[in-house]
Structure 1
Amino acid sequence: SKPASPWETYKSNKLEYGDLTDPMGDSPASGQKVHCHNAAYNWRIGWARPITGGVLTAANFTPTANRIALTIPASGTTDMNMVILDMGSSSPQAASPSIPYPKYFLSFRVRNTTFGGYDGGLSAAINQAVVIHNYNGTASDRDALTSNLVAIGGPRFDSFDPAFPAGNVWTGPFTPFNSTTGLGGGLRVKVVSVGPSSAVVELCRMYSQTEGKPGSAECQANLDRDCDGKMASLDSDCNPK
């Protein structure tokens, strides 16, 4: 039979706090070993920070360049170990124009086999897994907001987008794109590869949920605005059979 996914394992064990990637939610698995906090928690209290180029807003993407590939190191190997995606903002500045949209934290978790090593207490179920959390709070240890575990992929996501049968793509919520403000749209995260020390992910900003109608300007632009991996000229939205 098909092995249970990490999310199914969580549900069956009814882990406290609902986050098996954090010691607060998976203390039985940690035992006496070191178990790192999740990325959002570590960022909030100042214990870890994003990788170089790892703070992204809507301004980092354009319709003609809406994909960014990044390598995320294992959380237990360095303090620079996460990617922050604030797609609801036009810049990292607090006063910049924004819309309500989840802020996502991406990290890569690897179970450390060295005694006393960071993440040595990580559950084997999420070894070599890309983890996505949502946290809309601030970088302050006094912030009472909590983070939420959204998805786990190693490389197959437990809550993958069914449009991608390989299971290595997760899709976030979509809000209509506003060409005036440059805000809105959606996000797709693809796990390209995972290894013993790092993972490669591809982030794609969706400007629409379909490429467009046949003959439309969107189809003639020959872009991949819906992040389905097909340029408009090859997309069934623009060229139905």
Structure 2
Amino acid sequence: MLLLLLLAASWHSLSLNGVGASPTDVRRQLQQQLSERKRLLNDGDTPQESGWRRRIQQSSLSELDFPTDLRWTAPALKPVIFIVNMCNKGGGAAASRDDVWRILRDSPTNLAGYYDTCSYNRTALDLSNTLVIGPLQLPCNGTNSPSMGSGPWTVTSCHGTNPYGWFYWAEQYAVNTLKVNLSTYNHRVMIMPKLHQTFMEEDCGWAGISTTGSVNPMPHNPYAYRYSYTWLAGDMWSSPWLWFHELGHALWLQHANTPAQEYGDIASSMGGLKGYGLRCYNAPQNWQLGWGSPFVVLTRNELRPGVTVKRVIPAAHLDPDHSIRIALGPGAGQASDVSGVPANCTTQLWVSYRASSSVYDMLWKDLGTSAAFVHQWEGTSFSASPEPIELASLKVPYATKTPSDVQSSSYTVDGCRLVISALEVWDGYASFGVCVKTSDSGYETNCHDGIDDDCDGLIDAKDPDCRQPPGKNLPPQQPISKASTSSDDADQEPGLIYEGLMQVMLRTRQNSPPSPPSPRPPHPPPKPKTTVKVKAAASIPTVATGRRQLRQ
């Protein structure tokens, strides 16, 4: 435990070295926060577990987590990749093995560099345990695995068990003909033929499909991860973003949305409808993968009506532990509640500060362009099923450059009376204020109580509301809506998520940013594997509505 604490402290000490005096004394605030963080970590008294639960516990001792959190660090990716031609339909095989290795390893913008950058070197693409097979000539029809009922499959339909049938044929070829030990690999990827949508039935014009998590999952035991399935469209397969997105699903991540739009979150590659280039995941997804933890945790214990709690966090590209986690629900550590947050507000919020910082995280066109984000995500485990929602993007005062469509520096969380304000940025750190309004009114309702009733940064007589009578109070706000009605424990079989992004990607492909040089050390070539026979995924999926997700 001492080693883990020292490692955590050393990272943040290195991040702090470049900070000097600032008008609001950011350095002192950081020192206070780091001292408090160290105290919390040292005072942590968690009951001892055994087996895999103990391994989870030990791996998170250096993080600011709650006892109810169930975490992991996503394991290194070891993919076996099948390039297929489906009985000479469509445009034929989409790639050669060399083409695939260029995307994985050799091109200036490659998948290995993508994972190294966004995971802070915590989850690598294991190139020494990566195998590319093909192009393979699939027949037009075949028989599915016994675990799927040995039913027929066809290449002219992407529905039902057909996608599993394609993989079953490829797996049998790899095991029986090539003598491949498939148990070595934890992700199985199929690159479809070009123009697959031209020979398949309606609604098969997707850019990618992936299982959510592992096949036959144990969502409460991360060490039981077996392998996932991913299918990439032959016309889109060469996009590193598509790989990062689909394999994100395979690691339990859900789509990153806004309240009005699926895929609308600019801060995550699990979104994709907005933004300039490649990007990493958002703050709660970073937590979900074990790639980082909150720099600050706030609960009702730390909040008081009309009082602004100020906290400083590093930019996401500077530190894996870079967010503010605001947990307002039960079980988040509060013994009694004097926060002023309404009892029916039980949401969980994540505040982060992001900048375009590298070819792998270019939310906006110009390097250094930055903004803060407020996300809502109710999950508390690595396999949690709620979808993260980008509630707001905030302009941070004194930032070098802010996106033109980001104008406001504060956001009020509906139904919670909570106001989150970006205060300033300085030397890679951003300062935020978190305040609870004394009522649902947007006014300074009491001009003699010494607090900021409306959380606008102005107290009593300094607030214009106290010099001019306000209008009528605003009606009570509605309780904050949940990000997802899905169960948090994700105690279910994996589903298939069909991505309807092909047309979006085709429209934006020409506007992709250039790939600057990104030198990397050479990687060893893949090694041949020995033989073992494996089974395909079990149980028959049924079709759900919405984003067309198949649940097994």
TM-score range, shorter chain: 0.5 to 0.7
TM-score norm. by structure 2 comes to 0.32
Shift in alpha-carbon separation, 1:111–1:88, aligned structure 2, 3 A: same
Structure 2 residue aligned with 1:44: 288
1:135 to 362, 377, 392: 377
SS in structure 2 at match of 1:189: strand
SS in 2 for 1:76: helix
Unaligned runs of 5+ in 2: 1-259, 338-342, 397-401, 470-552
State the distance in 1 between where 2:349 and 2:465 align.
29
State which drifts further: 16-25 or 194-203. 194-203
Aligned to 1:92: 332
**Deviation at residue 20 of structure 1 after TM alignment:** 1.5
- 1:65-101 CA deviation, whole Å, 9 max, x = no partner? x112222211122111100112345x62399876333
Write the mapping of 1:13-24 to structure 2, written as runs, cut at 5 A: 17-24=263-270
Shift of the alpha carbon at 1:239?
Answer: 4.9
Q: Which amino acid aligns with 1:201?
A: F
RMSD: 3.3
Q: Pick closer, same or farther for the CA change 1:205–1:87 going to 2, 3 Å.
A: farther
Q: Aligned partners of 2:262 and 2:303: how far apart in 1?
A: 38
Change (3 A) 1:224 1:88: farther
Residue 46 and residue 233 in structure 1: after superposition, are their counterparts in 2 closer, same or farther (change >3 A)? same
Residues 40 and 236 of structure 1: CA distance in aligned 2, closer, same or farther (over 3 Å): same
More strand by share: 1
Residues in 2 aligned to 1:96 and 1:135: alpha-carbon distance in whole angstroms = 24
The aligned counterpart of 1:81 is 322
Matching residue's letter, 1:134: Q
| Superposed counterparts of 1:141-152, under 5 Å | 141-152=382-393
* Contact 2:299–2:334 (8 Å) recurs in 1: no
2:323–2:350 Cα contact (<8 Å) kept: yes
Shift of 1:41: 1.0
Identity rate, percent: 27
For 1:170, which of 373, 393, 411 is the aligned residue? 411
Secondary structure in 1 aligned to 2:322? strand
Structure having the larger proportion of residues in helix:
2
Higher mean alpha-carbon deviation, 148-157 vs 42-51, is at 148-157
Q: SS of 1:22's equivalent?
A: coil
Which residue is equivalent to 2:353?
Answer: 108
User: 1: distance between equivalents of 2:335 and 2:288?
Assistant: 19
Cα 1:148/1:16, change in 2 over 3 Å: closer
- Residue type of the alignment partner of 1:103: Q
Task: Note the C-alpha offset of 1:195.
Answer: 4.9
Give the letter aligned to residue 93 of structure 1: G
Alignment counterpart, residue 211 of structure 1, candidates 433, 441, 444: 444
CA distance in 2, matches of 1:23, 1:195: 27
Aligned partner (choices 62, 79, 87) of residue 304 of structure 2: 62
Asked if residue 230 in structure 1 is aligned to residue 458 in structure 2, the reply is yes
Q: Structure 1 unaligned runs (5+)? A: 1-13, 161-166, 176-185, 213-217
Say whether the 8 Å CA contact 1:134–1:147 is kept in structure 2. Answer: yes
AA of the residue aligned to 1:23: S
What's the offset of the Cα at 1:219? Answer: 3.8
TM-superposed deviation, 1:130: 0.5
Mapped partners of 1:38, 1:222: distance in 2: 37
Indicate the residue corresponding to 2:3 in structure 1: none
Aligned to 1:25: 271
**CA distance in structure 2 between the partners assigned to 1:211 and 1:88 by the alignment:** 27
Distance in 2, matches of 1:206 and 1:128, equals 28
Q: Are residues 26 and 224 of structure 1, via their aligned partners in 2, closer, same or farther at CA, if it must alter by over 3 Å?
A: same
Q: What is the DSSP-based 3-state SS (H/G/I as helix, E as strand, rest coil) of the residue aligned with 2:286?
A: helix
1:41 counterpart SS class: helix
Distance between the aligned counterparts of 2:347 and 2:263, measured in 1?
Answer: 20
2:364 matched to which residue of 1?
123
How far does residue 200 in structure 1 lie from its aligned partner after superposition? Answer: 1.6
The answer to whether 1:200 aligns with 2:465 is no
Larger radius of gyration: 2
Residues 225/87 of structure 1: CA separation in 2 closer, same or farther (3 Å cut) = farther
Structure 1 residue 153, shift from structure 2 partner: 1.8
Q: Which SS does the other structure have where 1:106 is aligned?
A: strand
In structure 1, what is the Cα distance between the partners aligned to 2:384 and 2:444?
40
Distance 1:239 1:79 in 2: 46
- What are the Cα deviations for residues 111-133 of structure 1, in whole angstroms up to 9, with x where unaligned? 124x6xx62x4333793110111
Shift of 1:37: 0.5
Tell me the matched-pair count. 195
Give SS of 1:105's match.
strand
Aligned equivalents of 2:406, 2:371: Cα separation in 1 = 13
Letter in 1 for 2:444: E
1:16–1:24 CA contact under 8 A, matched in 2 = no
Q: CA deviation at 1:106?
A: 0.5
CA distance in 1, matches of 2:438, 2:379: 26
* 2:301–2:333 CA contact under 8 A, matched in 1: no
SS of the equivalent of 1:225 reads coil
Change (3 A) 1:110 1:234: closer
Instruction: Answer yes or no: is the 8 Å Cα contact 2:313–2:353 preserved in 1.
Output: yes
Contact 2:277 2:365 in 1 (8 A): no
